[in-house]
Amino acid sequence: MAKDVLCEVNSCKFWAAGNNCNASSIYVVSNRGKQASHSEETDCKTFESKI
Ligand code: SF4
């Protein structure tokens, strides 16, 4: 289980100063449903826009 989640997506409503994630849990998926072979091919599905 991931204990500390660092994230630089500061447009997310769960983002907090110091690049911390305040969500109680996060769900990470392969982007576009394809099998990921690089970190760039993963996305945080828990993301919610601040706006
Ligand atoms: S929910 Fe995902 S995108 Fe949002 S701050 Fe946490 S790790 Fe980053």
The string of DSSP letters for 1-47 reads --S--B---TTBTTEETTTEE--SS--EEEGGGPPPSSGGGEEETT-
d(CA 1, CA 41): 21
Predicted pLDDT of residue 50: 96
Tell me: pLDDT of 2 over 90: no
Residues with CB under 6 A from ligand 1: 5, 7, 9, 12, 14-15, 21, 23, 26, 44, 46-47
Predicted pLDDT of residue 27: 96
Tell me: pLDDT of 3 over 90: no
Predicted pLDDT of residue 1: 77
Q: Residues 12-49: pLDDT tens digits?
A: 999 999 999 999 999 999 998 899 999 999 999 999 99
Predicted pLDDT of residue 33: 85
Tokens read off for 46: 């828990």
Closest ligand 1 atom to 28 CA: 2
